[in-house]
Amino acid sequence: MSDHYYSPQPTSQREQRQFQANLLGHSFVFQTDAGVFSKKGVDFGSRLLIETAEIGTGASVLDLGCGYGPIGIALAASYPQAHIVMVDINERAVKLAAENANRNRVADRIELLVSDGFSAIANRQFNQILFNPPIRVGKAIIYRLFAETKQHLKPGGSLWIVIRKQQGAGSARAQLERLYEKVRLVKQKKGYCIIQAVRD
């Protein structure tokens, strides 16, 4: 997996590109590159997650596995009182996210860290965690991250995930129900499911 977007240091040849995207009523310009997820445009699942997640006023929000930054950056622009933390194992992705935060004038509302899961934020908790899981890495890693999210949510906080029905939404929901007190399917569209898990 040395050349995968979940790798700390992708070795794929650089292939920088820019595109424009409208998210939550705001227009953004994103720079992407080879070795990051969905490099040609914001994927449908991330869009659906951005549109569906309920973000409280002044909330602390974690964008887990932020890639080049569309989720966290869109939330920072739309919820200016929220504090957004964005993490990714992929150093190339985190560098792009930092550039995109500056490009879209929300860098002052975002904290960016290179982190394998929660390794760099071990003692921190959030009101909301948004997660578009890297399906290709397999259930073992994804389910470990599911378990760790609960430790990093404040009481009453929510994990929001997006996952395709054909890529294991049913089993993902069942796994979350083993971990969390309240789990619900919030939205289903074009085969994508948004699931919310709440820590009591």
Rounded-to-10 torsion of CA 9, 12, 14, 17: -100
Q: How many CB atoms sit inside 10 A of residue 187's CB? A: 14
Q: Is residue 42 part of a domain?
A: yes
pLDDT at residue number 29:
97
Q: Is residue 2 part of a domain?
A: no
Question: Tens of pLDDT along 131-163?
Answer: 999 887 889 999 999 999 999 999 999 999 999
Angle, CA 89 vertex, CA 200 and CA 161 arms, to 5° = 35
Question: Tens of pLDDT along 60-115?
Answer: 999 999 999 999 999 999 999 999 999 999 999 999 999 999 999 999 999 999 99
Structural domain range at position 103: 17-198
Taking the CA atoms of the chain, what radius of gyration do you get in angstroms? 15
Q: Is residue 124 part of a domain?
A: yes
Q: Is residue 10 part of a domain?
A: no
pLDDT at residue number 10:
56
pLDDT at residue number 30:
96
pLDDT at residue number 41:
78
Q: Is residue 113 part of a domain?
A: yes
DSSP for 53-98, written as a single string: ----TT-EEEEET-TTSHHHHHHHHH-TTSEEEEEES-HHHHHHHH
Q: What is the CATH number of the domain that holds 35?
A: 3.40.50.150
pLDDT at residue number 147:
97
Question: Tens of pLDDT along 174-197?
Answer: 999 999 999 999 999 999 999 999
Q: Is residue 11 part of a domain?
A: no
Q: Is residue 12 part of a domain?
A: no
Tell me the pLDDT band of 1, cut-offs 50, 70 and 90: very low
Q: H or E element: which one contains 184?
A: strand 182-189
pLDDT at residue number 4:
45
Q: How many domains does the chain have?
A: 1
Question: Tens of pLDDT along 6-65?
Answer: 555 655 566 788 889 999 999 999 999 877 876 677 999 999 999 999 999 999 999 999
